[in-house]
């Protein structure tokens, strides 16, 4: 994957190093070139000095071919601006945004941003959001996630109860051709349905088998 990390502070630098070690093509953008020292001498990605909301800087970072972008500066408004720009102007498939101030959480939600709140922020959590094949991935408490994903061919014609597991995976809604459905027992899933479910964190590997091609 070609991944852009905007912000090379403590979290951004750790995230960039993790992604590079996993074999991804990583480009780090920061307004202060001195921040790149955090990456260390073994970092094999690219670094670009500039502002993450500058279109020319983003193009230089390869935004037009990017698979994912993480906006992890220490300014919420900057992260929000970067996320909106990269989603709307460049149609980046996966954009993860850092949120510092919980008071702005409602704004992030209204904009439909996929975010990680600073109070529970870790580079590992952002990494999970970037590399997992979820449309949206939101934490619920300490041990569960709300996951949105598109139903693959594997799920076509299967009933809801065939993918649910008691106290581990629960389907809460289906979106089909723009219409939201709260499914009852026996509801049949169709390929390309958007599935919204609550999953215990330890059960995420069990959910992945339904996401194959």
Sequence spans of domains, the chain: 2-131, 144-208
Provide DSSP, 91-156. Answer: --SEEEEEE--GGGHHHHHHTT-EEEEGGG--HHHHHHHHHS--SEEEEETTTEEEEEEE--GGGT
- pLDDT tens for residues 178-205? 788 999 888 999 988 888 888 888 888 8
- C-beta atoms surrounding 140 within 10 Å: 12
- pLDDT tens for residues 113-131? 766 775 444 565 666 666 5
The pLDDT value given to residue 213: 46
pLDDT band at 30 (very low <50, low <70, confident <90, very high): very high
What is the distance between the alpha carbons of residues 41 and 116, in angstroms, rounded to a whole number? 28
Provide the CATH topology of domain 2-131: Rossmann fold (3.40.50)
H or E element: which one contains 27?
A: strand 25-30
Provide the CATH topology of domain 144-208: Alpha-Beta Plaits (3.30.70)
* CA-closest candidate to residue 38, choices 61, 67, 54, 17: 17
């Amino acid at each position: 994957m070609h991944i852009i990390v905007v912000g090379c502070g403590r979290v951004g630098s750790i995230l960039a190093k993790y992604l590079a070690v996993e074999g991804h093509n990583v480009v780090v953008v920061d307004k202060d070139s001195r921040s790149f020292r955090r990456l260390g001498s073994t970092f094999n990605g690219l670094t670009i000095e500039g502002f993450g909301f500058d279109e020319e800087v983003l193009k230089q970072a390869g935004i037009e071919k990017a698979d994912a972008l993480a906006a992890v500066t220490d300014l919420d408004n900057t992260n929000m601006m970067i996320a909106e720009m990269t989603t709307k102007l460049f149609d980046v498939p996966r954009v993860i945004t850092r949120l510092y101030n919980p008071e702005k959480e409602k704004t992030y939600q209204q904009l439909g941003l996929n975010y990680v709140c600073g109070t529970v922020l870790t580079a590992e959590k952002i990494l999970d959001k970037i590399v997992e094949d979820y449309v949206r991935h939101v934490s619920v408490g300490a041990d569960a996630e709300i996951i949105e994903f598109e139903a693959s061919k594997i799920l076509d014609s299967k009933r809801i109860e065939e993918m649910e597991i008691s106290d581990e995976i629960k389907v809460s809604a289906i979106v089909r051709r723009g219409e939201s459905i709260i499914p009852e027992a026996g509801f049949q899933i169709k390929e390309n349905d958007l599935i919204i479910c609550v999953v215990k964190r330890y059960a995420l590997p069990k959910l992945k088998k339904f996401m194959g091609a």
